[in-house]
Amino acid sequence: MTALLEVNHVSKQFGNDSKALSDVNFTVNEGEFVSIIGPSGAGKSTLLRCINRMIDATGGEITFDNMNVMNLKKKELKMVRTRIGMIFQHYNLVNRLSVIENTLHGILGKKSTIAGVLGLYNQAEREQAVRILSMLGLGEHIYKRADQLSGGQKQRVGIARALIQNPRMLLCDEPIASLDPNSAKTIMDHLRTISSQMGITVIVNLHQVDVALKYSDKIIGINQGQVVFNGSSKDITKEDIQRIYGSEAEDLIFDIGGIHAS
């Protein structure tokens, strides 16, 4: 397996003394499903956004597909971003536009400015959008306005918008944090399928340790901006969880034994 993403000694400083990330190192292989877990404010979102440079890291090196992301020019950065899909906790759709328009937003990065401004999409692109939406079970909602959908459906539109980019990698920032357990399961199942069947690398920030253990190949645990665990989800122990969350593992509301048994 080849490494698609390498994060070396990355740090991020906001202001003068608050360090959001310090000396973060990890690699992600092609097609892997990786979960980043850790307490609120540990730097999970910051780390995810440093990868596609929605936030600029203050030090270190990030290599995506053999390209150093840190010193790309504006135009090259946009090229890299077209190959990385992003999914958000609050879906970040344009609520007043239809499901298919929101989906087609994913290919704006490949369009000329004129075509982008006027929203000109060709037949092939529209059919592609319909195909992806049907695959995600949204076939009958294509022309509905985004604000008429439920949370789980909105998140699936978010996934469709990322998939139409034809990405090598998906970055998911707390994709199920605002969803009920059923919708959350649907979303996680879709992400798992995307990783294992389409070969797209998926990196997910998660709050739910049990979900992370169940779905991912690899877990990265973060506490106070530092990687405190990096390994297979099968190898994780009670002590590791304790180290990540900095509390007694017994206090956490899930049963680690039950997860590994199933």
Partner 1 sequence: MQADFFAKKRRNSLGFLLILGAITFGAIVITEYNLVKGFESLPRAVTWALGNFYPTQESLSRLPGILNSLLETLLVSIAATTVGASFALFFAVMGSNTTRVNAFFGSISRGIATVFRNIDVAAWAMILLFSFGQSSLTGYFALFFGSFGFLTRAFVETIDEASGGSVEALRATGASYFSIIFQSVIPSSVPQMISWVLFMIETNIRSATLIGLLTGSGIGFTFNLYYKSLNYDIASLVVITIIVAILFIESISNYVRRVIL
Q: How far apart are CA 248 and CA 242, in angstroms?
A: 6
Residue 77 CA to residue 80 CA, distance in Å, equals: 5
Contact segment (CB under 8 A) with partner 1 among 20-28, 60-68, 82-90, 231-239 equals: 82-90
Question: Which of 8, 14, 41, 90: binder of partner 1 (CB under 8 A)?
Answer: 90
The residues that bridge with 226 in the sheet, in sequence order, are 223
- Tell me if 44 sits within 8 A of 38, measured CB to CB: yes
User: Rounded to the nearest whole angstrom, what is the least distance from the CB of residue 157 to partner 1 in the complex?
Assistant: 11
Q: Which of residues 113-132 bind partner 1 (CB under 8 A)?
A: 113, 116-119
> Shortest Cβ distance from residue 261 to partner 1 (Å)?
38
106 is a site residue for partner 1 (CB under 8 A): yes
Residue 146: CB minimum distance to partner 1, A: 9
Ranges assigned E (strand) in 187-234: 201-206, 218-223, 226-232
SS3 assignment, position 135: helix
- Per CB under 8 A, the segment of 81-89, 134-142, 177-185, 230-238 that binds partner 1 is 81-89
Decide: is 165 part of the binding site for partner 1 (CB under 8 A): yes
109 is a contact residue toward partner 1 (CB under 8 A): yes
Instruction: Establish if 148 lies at the interface with partner 1 (CB under 8 A).
Output: no
CB 258 → partner 1: shortest distance, Å?
36
Cβ proximity to partner 1, 12 vs 105, nearer residue? 105
> With b meaning 16 or more CB within 10 Å and e meaning fewer, what string describes 149-178?
bebbbbbbbbbbbbbbbebbbbbbbbbbeb
Q: Can you say whether the dihedral through the CA atoms of 177, 89, 67, 197 is positive or negative? A: positive
The distance of closest approach from Cβ of residue 33 to partner 1 in the complex, given in angstroms and rounded to an integer, is 20
Which tokens belong to 101?
């328009």
44 binds partner 1 (CB under 8 A): no
The span from the first CA to the last CA of the chain, in angstroms, equals: 27
Nearest 5°: phi and psi at 121? Answer: -120, 140
The CB-of-86 to partner 1 minimum distance in angstroms stands at: 4
Asked if residue 85 binds partner 1 (CB under 8 A), the reply is: yes
Task: Give the CA diameter of the chain.
Answer: 57
Please tell me whether residue 93 binds partner 1 under the rule CB under 8 A: yes
Residues binding partner 1 (CB under 8 A) = 52, 54, 77-82, 84-86, 88, 90-97, 105-111, 113, 116-119, 158, 161-162, 165, 171
